[in-house]
Each structure stands twice: as C-alpha cells, then as structure tokens.
Structure 1
Amino acid sequence: MRSNVIFVKDSLITETNIIGYKKQGESILFFIKVDGKICYSGLIDCYSTSNLNIVDKLLKENEVKCLDFICWTHPDADHSNGFEVIFNKYVDSYTLIWIPEYSMMKDELCSIGARHLFDELKKCLRSKNQKYNVYTTSDYKDLLYYGKSIEFRHGVTNYSLSIKSYTPNSNHLNRQYVDNVFMKNDCSIMLAVELGNVVELFTGDIENPTIEDLPENVYFDLLHVLKIPHHGSSTSDRLFDHFTKCDVSCSTVYRNGKVNLPSTGILDQYVKVSDRVYCTGSIDGTNENQEYGVVRIETNILQNTFNVKLVGNAAFYNSNIASIT
C-alpha cells in the first residue's frame, strides 16, 4: 500500500462533530487538521430535515470540497436522509465509501430516503465510468485498504491514521439472507478511527445480539470518544463488556411515539466509566430552542488535551475535567 506522509509543524488537531436533531437523526463528521488546515475529512451517516442539513452546513463553513471517507452504517431513515445531497456535492472517485454487506439486496425494506440512495449507488455500479467507489464491509476490516495509508509526522514522531470495522457479524447476515429476513440494526457497522494513541469508536445502531458475538479481544482499555450505540437504548448495553474507560461519550436522541431515547438509566451507567457524558439534545426534551444539536470535540494530539463545545440543543449529562492519558 502506498504511504502518504503529512508533515506537521505546529499543530495536529482532530475535530469530531456528533450531530443530532430534535426528534431523530444522527451524523458524525470528523476532520484532521494540520497547522490549521483540514487534511482529512470523514462522514459517518447523515440526516437532514426538509429545511436543514447540518453536515452540508459544516462542510461549507470549513470549505471542504470533497470528503475522503464515508461510512453509511445502516439504511435506517434517521441515519440516511440527506445523503443524496452530500453524494452529489462532496463525493468523487477518490472518496472511500463503505456500506454494510447485503444491504443493497434488501433495499425494498428500507426507507424512501435510503432507497433513493441505493438507486444512486446501483446506477453508479452499472456505469462503465463509475462516479463513486463503493465497498461493503462486515467483521474486522481495514477501511483504508483501498486508499493510501496516511501518516502524520511531527519531528521524529509518527501518528498513523487507522479506520477499522468490527461489525456487522457476517454469520448473522448470512443467516438472515438464507431466511429472507432483514434486520437493519443487525447490519450496522461499528468502526474505530485511530490517530496515534487516540481512539474514537462509532457504533451506529448495533444491538446486543451483535455485541455479544464480538470476540473477547475486541476490547478498548481507553477510548477517547465513544458514540453511544442505538441512541442510548438498553438494547445495546452489552457494549460495557468491551471497554474500560472513556474520556467523552455522547448519545443522540430518538423521540418517536412512545420511544424516548436516550435512557437515563443507560446514561447513568456511562457516567460511571466516562469522564464526560453528553447528548445532542436535552434529556427531558425541554428548553430546546434549535432544531439540532452538535457535540464538538477538538483534540490536540501533540499536547494530549481536548475541549468540548456544545452547539444548539446539545447538553452535558455529566462533566468533569479530563485529558487524554
């Protein structure tokens, strides 16, 4: 694999934006900045309302012309709406795009927004001159495999970028394929973005049946950022078996009918293992003056420090002074 070395003079910063909306919706937009300039950009899932797409807004503000990496964890509407806009404006043949295995085979069971995106991807795959590079993943895979390896060098110290998937479980997907069923959350991708010793884990909507079948060696002593799975639902609480401590954990909200997530009981458990716990909305759904919330974590890799900025409806559930160790 070819290596791309980026030299760092003064600063190496990661910026992770965990984005949610008032009722539902989840996106994670991350940047790696060298000396104030964005050198790498990635998006995990997308959501927009009829008049608001925060991913598009942030990409414009940061003058990003093309995304380097996209992961569509699973084709539920609250992780999919608005992706068409992003694909049309910020994707080219150099963008690495990952989706779950088998998901395109059951697109008729997905939301209208997800089906529109599947149609766009299928049209591209049928074309002789492909506009996008689309790959599927399950289990443990290197999601930078088809691109250049990226290394940031400051003096004599190297900081390598790694993006790896840990789910979905292909055995689960194979059984569902044979039985002609499709459980969208079971195909959800969980991936880790690592830069040097800093590990950020993004979990999509994985639930306990998938988590329980993770190998024992999928274990993180210290996570820097953890996106709490499935909007803080108790159906994903087995993730606690796979990490010891976290600097920042964050949940998005999902409020639909009688479902009101995140669960305070689950967030209370994250308080015990996290220095800071946040949510993209207020826990009780009151005093929300915006249609969205963003939890922005800016991490100084060279100085081993970070800060958190809350935008819109985003709120902290628990906050203590912390730094990367």
Structure 2
Amino acid sequence: MNKIFKSRLILLFITVILLLSITLSGCNVQDSSNEVGKDQLAVHFIDVGQADSILIQFPNGQTSLIDGGNRDDKDLVVNYIKEQGIKKIDYLIATHPHEDHIGGLPEVINTFEIGKIYMPKKSANTKIFERVVKSIKDKGLKATVAKGGIDIINDNDLKFKIIAPNSDNYSDTNEYSIVNKLEYKNISFLFTGDAEKESEEEMLNLGYNLSSDVLKVGHHGSRTSTSDKFLKAVNPKYGVISLGKNNDYGHPHKEAIDTLKNNNVNILRTDELGTIRIISDGEKLILPKNIESNTVQNTTVEKSIYIGNKNTNVYHSEECSRLPNEKNRVIFNTKEEAEKSGYRPDKQCVK
C-alpha cells in the first residue's frame, strides 16, 4: 500500500467518523417533536390511566397543570412535564380532593417552581390530601379558593377562567370540581374535572358561555356527567375522555357515549390513543396523527364562525359577500349563540 493511498484512506476514515458524529449530535439537538411553536397553544391530555392530568402550554409562555393523576403516576407526570422543557407551573389546579386527581401533585409541587395554586373549598380526610397540603406549606405557598367567575388569565386573545364550582355545599365531592374555560382567539376548551349534573345545571342557569371546540368529558365518561342539555350548550367538535383500560367503574358508560354520539361529538379516549396532544394557533385545531380515520377524518379542522352586523342585528356566514365593516362585526361560534343574542340569519348566505 503506497503512502498516498494510505493517506487518502486515513482521511476518508476521519471524514466518515466526523460525519457520523455530526449526524448523531444533530439528532439529539434538532429533535423538536416536543416543541410548541411561537404563538401556539398546546393542551396535553396525559395518559394517566383511570385518572386525570392535563398540561397546558399557553402562547404567552406560561403553563398550567390541571390535576396530577394517581399517586403511582407521579413520576410519569413529572417526567412528561420535564420532557416539554418546562421548569415552572404558573397555575396549578387541583380540581377536587380525590386521589385520582391529586395523587401526583406532591411530587409536582416539590419538583417544579410553582406560581399560583387553585383548589376548591373542600378537604378530605386522606393521607394524599394531607401530603398535598404539606407540600404547599413546605414550599411557602398558599392555595387560592376556586369559585366560578375568577379570571386566571384575561388578555385580549387569551382567556383562562374558572366557571365552577358555584356553591359552597354539595352532597358529592365531585360537584366541587373546578371547571375551567380556555379561549385562544377563536378556539376554546372546557375542562370539567369530575363535575356532575348539579354543577352542570348551575353553569347553565348562571348563563356562562359554555360553547367550546374541545370538551374534557366529565368524570371519565360517567353517566353522572355530560347531560344532554349541558352538551348542547357546549356543542364541542371533540370530547376527550381520560380513563384506564378495563377499569373497575365501567367507564365510559354507555349513556355518556350515546349522548356524545347523538350530538355528533368526535370521541377521543386516552385508553385507546394514549396521551392526546392538541395544538392550536387560535384559528384551527391540529390533532395527533394516531387518531384513527374512522374517529376523525382530518387532523386539521377549521373553525366555523358566524359574523353579526351590530347595526342590522343580522348574522352572516364567514363566506358571505355582504359582511359588515370590521368595526361593526360581532363573532358567534354557532347559529344558536347568534340567535340567543337577538340576531337573525341572512337568509341568502346562512343555510
């Protein structure tokens, strides 16, 4: 082997090694599968089995965690949050003091920087509830008592508020559940914890705007939640059910599934799909690719809106050729919402 050939062989070997090193390091650095784009909202329904845990990344850079799963889920929840590159939970919400909602929260509180904490005015004589309270106290924090009407975030394009509980005394702990409404531009989510029909009826009677694109179905799909009247007011495109496979409660109950199907709601279940992450730019929903085609036909869904004219009290479809000037417009999510506000349809463009 002459010296020139040997030198070229060595050079080729070094080049290959360098290329491999760059490629491998690039895979580690460039992997952006968990990144959320600028001005995007991301809602993660974490698969914690027969429990609830929802992570929200707001477009303003803040975060919220609604519930923390069971005690056995603490590492799963903590690791999932870390994988998103999150170091602070700005708004920690413990919907109600049942173990399958607060079980992992002590570990979350001990691991991350915590901003504000919201809990209902309901305690429990359980060790896990005592651990949650102790973790809050040990970190020098205090919980804010949650009740309907509290604004957590109230910006022009981003709103996150509490719309339940609305009473101080319920016979069932589930009814104390904190219910949150999230709105980002023209997209909205409703998170209901384990709220049941009594709380649903209160929200309806108090006149809250419940209309939402995505509903976190109450109480893991139990028949005690998601009344037909409530669901019609929410009118969601998607209903997410957080539950475990072959659970002892028979969730989701047939009655709840039938109600969802009868109202043309696309059902997304964590026991079938695992963790469900929904991203939005405020105008459309971007759904996970692992949703089967017989559940949802398209992974990107445009938001349908109706545009009212403040001067004429007539509402139009967004494709209508007779839309009012921007300053005279009012936006409605459904025909029902427009008509309840005293607007009548433009008969030529609203079918």
Identity %: 22
Structure 1 distance, partners of 2:48, 2:250, is 13
Where in structure 2 are there 5+ consecutive unaligned residues? 1-36, 305-351
Structure 1 residues 216 and 191, CA gap change in structure 2 (3 angstroms): same
Q: Secondary structure at the match of 1:281?
A: helix
Q: 1:107 aligns with which of 99, 124, 135?
A: 124
Structure 1 residues 230 and 316, CA gap change in structure 2 (3 angstroms): farther
Q: Secondary structure at the match of 1:70?
A: strand
Q: 2:53 aligns with which of 3, 24, 27?
A: 27
Structure 2 counterpart of 1:132, one-letter code = L
Structure 2 distance, partners of 1:250, 1:263, is 14
Residues 110 and 135 in structure 2, CA contact (< 8 A), matched pair in contact too: no
Structure 2 counterpart of 1:228, one-letter code = V
1:226 matches 2:243: no
Q: Measure how far apart 1:169 and its partner are.
A: 2.6
Structure 2 distance, partners of 1:203, 1:317, is 26
Q: 1:307 aligns with which of 278, 286, 292?
A: 286
Q: 2:45 aligns with which of 3, 18, 24?
A: 18
1:162 matches 2:159: yes
1:191 matches 2:180: yes
Structure 1 counterpart of 2:146, one-letter code = T
Residues 14 and 299 in structure 1, CA contact (< 8 A), matched pair in contact too: yes
Residues 280 and 286 in structure 2, CA contact (< 8 A), matched pair in contact too: yes
Structure 1 residues 30 and 231, CA gap change in structure 2 (3 angstroms): same
Q: Measure how far apart 1:264 and its partner are.
A: 3.5
Tell me the equivalent position of 2:238.
248
Pairs within 5 Å for 1:1-325: 11-22=38-49, 24-33=50-59, 39-48=61-70, 50=72, 53-92=75-114, 95-101=115-121, 103=122, 106-108=123-125, 110=126, 112-121=127-136, 123-124=137-138, 131-144=140-153, 151=155, 159=157, 161-173=158-170, 183-214=172-203, 215-221=205-211, 223-238=212-227, 240-241=229-230, 243-253=233-243, 258-274=248-264, 276-282=266-272, 293-301=274-282, 304-309=283-288, 318-321=295-298, 322-325=301-304
Could you state the TM-score of these two structures normalised by the residue count of structure 2?
0.67
Structure 1 distance, partners of 2:197, 2:255, is 16
Higher helix share: 2
Structure 1 distance, partners of 2:254, 2:295, is 12
Structure 2 distance, partners of 1:57, 1:133, is 25
Aligned length: 264
Higher radius of gyration, 1 or 2: 2
Structure 1 residues 66 and 233, CA gap change in structure 2 (3 angstroms): same
Structure 1 counterpart of 2:141, one-letter code = Y
Q: Which has the higher contact order (CA 8 A, sep 6+)?
A: 1
Where in structure 1 do 4 or more consecutive aligned residues deviate above 4 Å?
254-258, 314-317
Structure 2 counterpart of 1:299, one-letter code = S
Where in structure 1 are there 5+ consecutive unaligned residues? 1-9, 125-129, 152-157, 177-182, 283-291
Residues 251 and 278 in structure 1, CA contact (< 8 A), matched pair in contact too: yes
Residues 245 and 271 in structure 2, CA contact (< 8 A), matched pair in contact too: no
Structure 2 distance, partners of 1:205, 1:49, is 18
Q: Measure how far apart 1:305 and its partner are.
A: 2.3
Structure 2 counterpart of 1:90, one-letter code = F
Could you state the TM-score of these two structures normalised by the residue count of structure 1?
0.72
